[in-house]
Amino acid sequence: MNRTVASWWALAIVLVGVSLMAPLFMSGYALRFCTFVLMWIGLAGSLNLLTGYTGYLDFGHVAFFGTGAYVTGVLMLKVGLPFFPAMFAGAVIAAVIACLVGIPTMRLKGAYFAIAMLAFAEAMKHVVLELDGITGGGNGLSLPIYTNYTFFYYTMLAAVVFTIAVTYWFGRSKFGYALKAIREDELAADVSGVNTFSCKLIAFGISAFVAGMIGGIYAYWMTFLTPDDSFNVLLTVRMIIMAFLGGAGTVLGPIIGATFLASIEEILWASFAYTYLIIVGVIVVIVVLYIPRGIVGLIGEKLIKQYRRKGKSA
């Protein structure tokens, strides 16, 4: 047990170390690609915090990403706040909105929750479109321009490390256990003393905070936002696919899912645009039908079986 824990930590340290040093060897496109991968890890991780742990499938998660992006943009542009306070404000506002929306929405279950969140995200998009005096509406919002891409890499990396740390904490804390219990059987969790509603709401808030934070970094990095792109339902869809492909409710799942999908996208997309999306579709179908617990789950189960077999023969 101790040795495995030690090697996990060593792996984590190596990963973080490599990530920290990476910009020394990369620039331009490679750096941007890696920043995107980090962004996706963060977003998939954010969705995972909610969906992976509580089982609530959020089809409108992009709303928090978009909120973070737009709040950051507007605060920097109209109020003149520096980037970090603006980003932090964006994340906090995303979290507050999540909690407010969560109070009625979190009473819904399954498909109803998914549809309600989808409706919420679409409504948010149109609200941003309508508030064109503040957000630039359909004309888009152009942020102050900053092109130190290494800065964005490190900021994104920090956000991802934060996300993973939270996920790790979810995995082995009293609170995290409560969320997993909610996912497995909400009623049983409730009668066992878990304050299901508050727990769900807090998880929702944390998850939205992360998405909003990444949205803020994204906004400053991209320098130009439009509601259609910042609140695009396809972003939610990618978060979901990445989280489930890797293994929802695990620390490594979003990392593996996001890296895997972003990489095959990079390899396949240039040459086969539509074919790539068909392949993604096939992957989703295969994951659902054959490996519902994702890559991590698949490997994890194998390891457990091996471990057991060893235990028995010994």
Partner 1 sequence: MLLQVLLNGILIGGIYASFAVGFSLIFGVLRIVNIVHGEFIMLGAFITYWLYSIFGIDPFLSLPVSFALLFVGGYLLQRFVINRIIEAPEIMSLLLTFGLSLIIVNIALIVWKGDYRLVNPEYAGANLELGTLIIPYIRLATCVFALLAVGGLQFFLQHTNTGRAIKATSQNKEGARLQGVNPARIYAITFALGAGITAIAGSLLSMSFSVFPAMGGDYLLFSFFIVVVGGMGDLPGALVGGFILGILQSLVTNFIGAGLNYIVIFLVLYVMLITRPTGIFGRGLIE
Partner 2 sequence: MNVFTFRGKRFCTALLILLLSMALSVTVYARDTFVFGSAIALTGKFAREGASLKKAYDFWAQQVNAQGGIEVAGKQYPVEIKYYDDKSDPRTTTKLVEKLITRDKVDLIFGPFSSGCVGPSSTITEKYKVPMIEAAGNARSLFKRGFKYLFCTLRPADELADPYMRLLVKQTPKPKTVAIIAPKSPFYLSAASGFETYAKKYGLDIVHYETYPVAMEDITPILQKIKAKDPDVLCVGSHTVVAMMVMKQSKEIDFNPKAYCFSFGTLGSEFPKELGDDANYILEYISISEGSPFEDPLFGTTKEFIGHFKEAYQSRPDSTQAAAVAGGIAFTRAIQNAGVIPPFDEAKRTKVRNELAKLDIVTAAGPVRFDATGINEANPLGIYQYQNRVPVCVEPDAWLEAKFIYPAPKWGDR
Partner 3 sequence: MVLKTEKVTKTFGDLLALDAVDVSLARGDILGMIGPNGSGKTTLFNVVSGVYRPAAGDIFFQGKSITGRTPHYICRKGIARTFQIAQPFSQMTLLENVLIGAMWGDGKSLSKGRDAAEEVLDFVGLGEKAHLVPDEVTTEDRRRLELARALATKPEVLLLDEMMAGLTPTEIEEVLVLLRQIHASGVTIFMVEHIMQAVMSVCHRIIVLNYGQVIAEGTPGEVVKDEEVIRAYLGDRYV
Establish if 138 lies at the interface with partner 2 (CB under 8 A).
yes
Q: Sign of torsion, CA 81 84 85 91? A: positive
Angle at 85 between CA 259 and CA 16, to 5 degrees: 30
Pick the binder of partner 1 from 42, 45, 55, 253 (CB under 8 A): 55
Least distance from partner 3 to the Cβ atom of residue 175, Å: 9
Least distance from partner 1 to the Cβ atom of residue 291, Å: 12
Distance in angstroms (rounded) separating the CA atoms of residues 188 and 182: 8
Nearer of residues 148 and 312 to partner 3, judged by Cβ: 312
Least distance from partner 2 to the Cβ atom of residue 166, Å: 24
Give bridge partners of residue 225 from the DSSP assignment.
Answer: 141
Specify whether the CB–CB gap between 264 and 93 falls below 8 A: no
Phi-psi region of 195 (alpha: psi -120 to 50; beta: other; left: phi over 0): beta
Region binding partner 2 by CB under 8 A among candidate stretches 11-19, 54-62, 69-77, 102-110: 11-19
Distance in angstroms (rounded) separating the CA atoms of residues 299 and 90: 37
Pick the binder of partner 1 from 15, 79, 100, 123 (CB under 8 A): 123
Work out the number of other CB atoms within 10 angstroms of the CB of residue 176.
20
Establish if 118 lies at the interface with partner 1 (CB under 8 A).
yes
Least distance from partner 3 to the Cβ atom of residue 52, Å: 11
Report the b/e string of 279-295 with b at 16+ CB within 10 A.
ebeebeeebeeebebbb
Establish if 287 lies at the interface with partner 1 (CB under 8 A).
yes
Establish if 70 lies at the interface with partner 1 (CB under 8 A).
no
Residues found near partner 3 in the complex (CB under 8 A): 172-174, 177-178, 180-181, 183-185, 187-197
Residues found near partner 1 in the complex (CB under 8 A): 51, 55, 57, 104-105, 107-112, 114-116, 118-120, 122-123, 126-127, 129-130, 233, 237, 240-241, 244, 274-275, 277-278, 280-285, 287-289, 292
